[in-house]
Amino acid sequence: MGLMILKDSEQKLKDRFGDRLITNHSLAKLNTFGTGGPARLFYDARTVDDLVAIIRAVGELEIQTFLLGGGSNLLVSDDGFDGLVMKNSIMGIELDGNEIICGAGEDLQSIVDFATENSLSGLEFATGIYGTVGGAIFGNAGAYGTETAGVLKSAQLIDKQGDIRTEENSYFKFDYRNSILKTTGEIVATAKFALEMGIKGEIQGKCDKIRAERNAKLPVNALTAGCFFKNIPDKAAKFG
């Protein structure tokens, strides 16, 4: 991409978004490795409308973009990112019967805690998984044999044109740490989880047990992005 084109695109975005568009914003504090250079442009999207507006504005320009969640599954280059980083900070958690509806920028752990508080079971497995709800859907985050796919009912997506629509679980073609979002580039704005009514003490007990197991296995307070290796099926793991 030519420098002039990039500068021109940058100026158009600055004219439109003013102070909300930050130049040369450090990404090191926004990922769990704590490394990496700056984003040439950075925008904190706090609402669905914020995200739609910036996606639509960028659609007409020659500028590369990256959607940042909790930064817990990223290795940011020391050269930084020569484009626009959009941080998903869409918050809000609501209860509707046995369902939780939330902004995709919420920490997954906040949803686990909210579910426990409301005696809803199904999300205990996610105790201690870093990152946002959007990141968990993107990569079908999971642990202890359970994955995001098992509890997600639907999600509101924003496509590259900035159009919003809601898709049900089957759309995401969830697989091991995979979803269709890795090919479509759509962004999760909000999510709905379908859970089961349970007994608060039991749900809390499961979460506590998982937390203790994780703490015993993982280096607590280390700068990491979690596990780097794929769990392969038992059969394939046997030699000879």
Ligand X SMILES: Cc1cc2nc3c(=O)[nH]c(=O)nc-3n(C[C@H](O)[C@H](O)[C@H](O)COP(=O)(O)OP(=O)(O)OC[C@H]3O[C@@H](n4cnc5c(N)ncnc54)[C@H](O)[C@@H]3O)c2cc1C
Which spans of this chain sit near ligand X (rule: CB under 6 A)? 32, 67-74, 88, 104, 129-132, 134-136, 138-139, 141-143, 177, 181, 187-188, 218, 224-226
Where b means 16+ CB within 10 Å and e means fewer, 140-151 reads: bbbbeeebbbbb
Is the CB of 72 or the CB of 116 nearer to ligand X? 72
Closest approach of ligand X to the CB of residue 88, in Å: 5
Is the CB of 4 or the CB of 220 nearer to ligand X? 220
Is the CB of 230 or the CB of 238 nearer to ligand X? 230
Closest approach of ligand X to the CB of residue 91, in Å: 12
Q: Could you tell me the CA-to-CA distances from 191 to 63, 66, 88, 152, 219 in Å, in that order?
A: 28, 20, 13, 7, 30
Is the CB of 85 or the CB of 195 nearer to ligand X? 85
CB-based contacts of 135, cutoff 8 Å, min separation 6? 69, 70, 72, 73, 108, 141
Rounded to whole angstroms, how far apart are CA atoms 195 and 204?
A: 15
Closest approach of ligand X to the CB of residue 49, in Å: 15
Is the CB of 17 or the CB of 66 nearer to ligand X? 66
Closest approach of ligand X to the CB of residue 167, in Å: 12
Where b means 16+ CB within 10 Å and e means fewer, 53-92 reads: bbbebbeeeebebebbbbbbbbebeeebbebbbbbbbbee
For the record, the structure tokens of 27 come out as 């990404």
Q: Minimal CA–CA distance to 138: which of 88, 100, 202, 201? A: 88
Closest approach of ligand X to the CB of residue 2, in Å: 26
Closest approach of ligand X to the CB of residue 240, in Å: 30
Is the CB of 132 or the CB of 169 nearer to ligand X? 132
